[in-house]
Structure 1
Amino acid sequence: MKALRWEALGDTARRPAVVLLHGGPGLPDYLGELAPMVADIAPVYRYDQRGTGGSPWSGTHSLARHVDDLAELLDAWDVPKAVLIGHSYGTDLASRFCLRHSDRVAAMLLMCGPFVGDWRTGYRAERRRRMSAAQQERLDALAELPQRTEEQEVELLTLSWFTDHADPGRGWHWAAQDARRRRPVNWSMNRQLGRDGRADPLDAHLTDLRACLPARTELLGGTEDPRPIAALEALALRLALPLTRIEGAGHEPWLERPDEVRAQLRRFVGGAVAG
């Protein structure tokens, strides 16, 4: 494995450790705001998934390879069991890791995912509802370009991401910032892992996942996420898990409700460490 860029916050001699798994796929790590919320309770590790940020990679991406990466990083950090906190696609990665390495998962918090079943129909409809006709037309035109300039890429990402937030004004501001910070986007990785996920959907493994989940596993989601909260509610029922709803927050609830998210993370990690 080529070296992956990672960093730790807190006393790395303490166990268990927390590992934050960012979403995308194809984005560099963006969960730096979450790590200080709990680093006094347990050490927190973050890393750029291969092919993103400071983690170089050329070749084919697969979900299995990314699961192996996490196992190898835990070995490198001398972390036998970790508290996994995944966001968005990171919840899919955490779930697939648990399916293969349940003995290495002390607890798991799944934030804003994973979404299973036919959630995309509702998601696409809500995204369009939050956009003007001109914005949708511009987004479609940018997406169809075989190559984009830097400013066109920033515009595409801003249009793609601003609907993730409950407040459209602040959402546009956050999306425009992230369109320049969360770069470059590895679109090839995004497509390859997307194909891999469609060929082997997590939906097909929910019975096995329920059987191997650690005792302390929870879901958390923003009620204003364009991805329907009903999909997380259905998943919570199928996996027999508690779901915390963050009112008035979108796909990145720590931006709109930081105090509530901080309290939930500290409660969860504190319980995992004590348990």
Structure 2
Amino acid sequence: MTTQGLVSTTDGARLHWTALGDTTRRPAVILLHGGPGLPDYLSPLAPMTADLAPTYRYDQRGTGQSPWPGPHTLTRHTDDLAELLDARDLPSAILIGHSYGTDLAVRFCLRHPTRVAATLLMCGPFTGAWHTAYRAERLRRMSPAQRDRLRTLKDLPHRTEDQEVELLTLSWFTDHADPEHGLHQAAIAARDRRPVNWSMNRELNAEALTDPLDDHLTDLRAHLPEHTELLAGTEDPRPLAALESLSLRLGLPLTRIEGAGHEPWVERPEVVRSHLRRFVRGVVGR
């Protein structure tokens, strides 16, 4: 069964949520999408766990069906999640974050540790000096013409709808293991995950630079729930070594999905489904 609604936050924002499964069960799963600045795109994951625990998705403020003019802060976004749990009468939840959603999940653990039953961190969070290797790998996966075209599109003061879709396609196709398949998948995503809230993206990324997760790893190790795991695609252009290092520093298990990139459910859906179900079942006991 699918239900949906709006949560009004204490500062006047409205968060649109969707739940799949029996919402009377506890605990629930909350899927945290990436970006920052994208609407929710994790609908393919919800059916993987909804029979084990009700599975919620929501558009973060300023994206999708959650209107908000800004400004954006990491603290406000973690408070949004707490207010969503309050509104849905969820004392705690299983957090499954993807990409930027993993940063949101761990920052929520730092602020509200008693409200997290378990955390699965997919393709993030990335700490340390990982950006240089990531940029180099992205460029390696592009042709010279693609690099030039992406640079041209980024430099435009204003972009048409078609130019925006083209920019996102070129920005995202390298996230996939297979470049040809990646172009197709990225083109679909570029049309579906719109509009991008670029202001939100800039504000939250800038704040993350001034308050990096690297400075909180000691506290994070103490605040993460017992059931916390990392998951990564081996073909993600973001360096797997960064997650391996984080795994060692925090004492967390890391599952590597062979032949998958930054969105492993696209290329290895059954493997991801099996992993998510094992993880959630280990928490709810079903």
TM > 0.5: yes
CA contact (8 A) 2:39 2:64 kept: yes
CA distance in 1, matches of 2:115, 2:204: 23
Establish whether residue 194 from structure 1 lines up as the match of residue 202 from structure 2. Answer: no
Q: Which runs of 4+ in 1 moved over 6 A?
A: none
Q: Which amino acid aligns with 2:19?
A: A
After TM superposition, list the pairs within 5 Å mapping 1:13-24 onto structure 2. Answer: 13-24=24-35
Task: Give how far 1:65 is off.
Answer: 0.4
How much is the aligned-residue C-alpha RMSD, in angstroms?
Answer: 0.7
The CA deviation string for residues 133-160 of structure 1, in whole angstroms up to 9 with x for no partner, is 1100110110011110000000000000
CA-to-partner distance for each residue in 1:190-240, whole Å, 9 max, x for gaps?
Answer: 000011100100110000000111100000000000001111000000000
Structure 2 residue aligned with 1:36, among 37, 44, 47? Answer: 47
* Contact 2:70-2:200 within 8 A present in 1 as well: no
Residue aligning to 2:119: 108
Identity of aligned residues (%): 74
Q: Which residue identity lines up with residue 67 of structure 1 in the other structure?
A: T
Counterpart position of 2:251: 240
- 1:152 equivalent to 2:163? Answer yes
In the other structure, the counterpart of 2:186 is: 175
Matches within 5 A, 1:69-108: 69-108=80-119
Counterparts of 1:245 and 1:165, CA distance in 2: 15
Amino acid at match of 1:78: D
Aligned counterpart in structure 2 of residue 141 of structure 1, from 152, 156, 164: 152
Question: 1:78-135 CA distances to partner (integer Å, 9 max, x unpaired)?
Answer: 0001000000000000000000000000000000000000111110010000000110
Which residue type is aligned with residue 15 of structure 1?
R
Counterpart secondary structure, 1:4: strand
Q: Which residue of 2 aligns with 1:161?
A: 172
Counterpart of 1:267 in structure 2: which amino acid?
Answer: R
In 2, the alpha carbon distance for the partners of 1:165 and 1:248 equals: 9
Partner of 1:130: 141
Partner residue, 2:5: none
Query: How far apart are 1:59 and its partner, in Å?
Result: 2.3
User: Which residue does 1:45 correspond to in 2?
Assistant: 56
Q: Show the 5 A alignment for 1:183-262.
A: 183-262=194-273
d(CA) in 1 for partners of 2:108, 2:41 = 20
- Look up the equivalent residue of 2:110 and give its one-letter code: L
Contact 2:40 2:60 in 1 (8 A): yes
Aligned residues: 275
- Other structure's SS at 1:176 match: helix
Structure 2: gaps spanning 5 or more residues? 1-8
SS of aligned partner of 1:61 = coil
2:275 is matched with which residue: 225, 250, 264?
264
Q: Which AA in structure 1 matches 2:161?
A: E
Counterpart code for 1:129: R
Letter of the 2:266 counterpart: L
Q: For residues 100 and 284 of structure 2, what CA distance do their matches in structure 1 show?
A: 25
Counterpart-to-counterpart distance in 2, 1:253 and 1:59: 31
> Partner letter of residue 50 of structure 1?
R
Unaligned runs of 5+ in 1: none
Q: Deviations over 1:39-83 (max 9, x none)?
A: 000000100000000000012100000000000000001000100
Aligned to 2:231, the other structure's residue is in SS state strand
Distance in structure 2 (CA, Å) of the matches to 1:64 and 1:235: 23
Distance, in Å, in 2 between the alignment partners of 1:168 and 1:225 is: 12
